[in-house]
Amino acid sequence: MKTSFTTLLTILIYLSVNAQTFYKGVDLSYVNQMEDCGVIYYDAGTAGDPFQIMADHGANIVRVRLWHTPEAWASFPSSYSGYNDVVTTITRARSSGMSVLLDFHYSDTWVDPGKQAIPSAWASLVNNTSALETKMYDYTFQVLSDLDQLGLMPEFVQVGNETNGSMLFPEGANIYPIDWNRQSAIINAGIAGVRAAGNNSTIQPKVVLHIANPVHGDGWFGSAVANGVTDFDIMGFSLYPEWHGGNIGQTGDIVEYLRTTYNKDVMLVEVGLPWTDASNDAAGNILSQMPSGYGVPSPAAQRNWLVDITTEVHNRGGIGVIYWEPAWVSTGCDTEWGTGSHYENATFFDFNNELITDGGVQFLEQSYGAGVNNVTFSVDMTGVTGANGAYVTGNFTGSGSWQIIPMVNEGGNIYTYSTSIPVGTIGAYYFLKNNTWGDRETVPAECALQWGTDREYTIQAGQNVLAFPWGSCTPMTERTVTFRVDMTGVNGAQGAYVTGDFTGASWQILSMTHEGNNIYSYTTTMEEGATGGYYFLKRNKWSFRETVPSECALAYGTDRQYTITGTNNTFAFGWGSCDQASARVVTGIGLPSENQELSVYPNPVADVLYLKNSSYRQYSLMNLSGATLLSGTLSRTDQISMDGLPKGIYILRLTGVDTEVIRVVKE
């Protein structure tokens, strides 16, 4: 039964969930050690604090490991990853404006699914569960209380690291199967220590339990809950594609299942993958492979997988993703296993310690929740009597009892709601003018294809916009709109961003996608006839906006102006310029001489790309992965049909007397 109480409760839960911070973070546990080894980190050629570098690129949380009594190795003292080192790391994270996840290993060294070595100070108690409970509680409580006295209480606390097997066992011991009577007592004691310390603080840390590989989530957490481990907040996972598989959809399914089954938040607290298969020292690299579908290791492949997995985690209800460890670069210092780094090919920095701006760091720069959903429902409420906003419902809001979802007022009586629905899904929906079931629209018979009363959707690959006036079958005239900026030579740029009145009543800063060659773009949909203002920024901060020349500052005297028409809606300019930015990137050998006047138009293209040339003979059209989609022979004036190809960016290679490569955008 669809009751008003159920509807109200649903909306309150919806608003609460969508107001929660989504965490994009980095584990920086190695930084203090790296800097002591002489490392200097660079961003755009300027030396910088790696904590601030990560924060400037969008990180909002830092993870840091804690060992009980760290072991010394080779030339290194036993201070790194100990309490004092953690104090330094948390202080630096806070100074850069980021939250903190403190990772208790409950060991003197690394622990993982294969080993959970008990601290040497507790070794004599390995068979005394009651005594271990006391140690777990006292140690956890004391560390957190001491941090709180320094004003450094972390927002999140991990009670154990990759605890797939039994905790607090001797080095080399078989930690499977888990004795859950012992395990649950130990974990609960650690949790109790967190809660007690939090009760004395202005910050009550959320408790994270962490295992490796999400596919083990149901089995491990099911056993934990069945054995009385229930007072925790977040299910944390490690996900390394090389060891655990990198299937995006499968991970999303698991995140959603665990979140709804156990009523706990879900976070990926460790992810990692390489940007190159090369090495910068003699220490063997521990990562070398990319997941299926992402090609060979490269900065772009690293970035793409990270953006894809983080988008999926967000869309399926997870609360964050943390990358491990983007700053463990190569040095002449020793590790436990050799000299150098075993991870320099998987950091966010190149072999000169320069931030790779088009690599994995870009996953931090994305505004997850803004433009990442694949379905937008839109309704024009103009002239609707008795409307109190707009709402939408359908079988995508719940398999049994449908839910009424409030829509966002975009201005001009247009309301939207965006979500994610699996490709291929066919379902029903309709709009409402109030938050009551009786105030639904009457869908005309010709488009009431579901049960004779409701609208029908069929989800295709890519973006799906379902836009209609209230009670009408005539689609609203939504148009694809692309904003593009050329950032060549812009000092201090950290990517590119755009804002405008199309981003909401309270303007939002949106991250733009790097297309290569310093060209950035952002694509959305708008109603034909819409007009307004916008401008570009070189950082995710309001003070880093461009100064628009007066001759093209046609909106508010300071901003660029857009007007949406029924044809091409691409607004492309150089930073701080009224000159149009070219989508054309030329490379190769034997470039055309001045009298060869090659013309490629229109670009962006719809279905047919026209070429007027004087010397080219052969062409091949490739996607960004390098796969050839079309090829053929050109005459002096020719055309290439792109009908049937999806929207996106393509590379057109022309060969003959000369070679030229042109970036083609289909919209």
Catalytic residues: 162, 270
Do 110 and 370 form a contact (C-beta atoms < 8 A)? no
- For 489-614, strand residue ranges (E) read 497-500, 510-511, 513-516, 519-527, 531-537, 560-563, 570-574, 599-601, 608-612
Do 178 and 223 form a contact (C-beta atoms < 8 A)? yes
Nearest to 497 by CA among 600, 388, 366, 605: 366
CA distance 436 to 653: 57
CA distance 614 to 211: 62
> What distance, in Å, lies between the first and last C-alpha atoms of the chain?
44
Do 217 and 253 form a contact (C-beta atoms < 8 A)? no
Please tell me the chain's helix, strand, coil percentages from 3-state DSSP, rounded to the nearest 5.
25, 30, 45
Nearest to 533 by CA among 550, 555, 549: 555
CA distance 632 to 258: 51
Query: Hey, what amino acid is at 305?
Result: W
Phi, psi for 183 (deg, rounded to 5): -60, -45
Nearest to 163 by CA among 99, 102, 107, 241: 107
Do 344 and 323 form a contact (C-beta atoms < 8 A)? no
Phi, psi for 445 (deg, rounded to 5): -60, -35
Do 283 and 328 form a contact (C-beta atoms < 8 A)? no
Task: Considering only CA atoms, give the Rg of the chain.
Answer: 28
CA distance 535 to 309: 30
3 state SS for 279-299: CCCCCCCCCCCCCCCCCCCCH
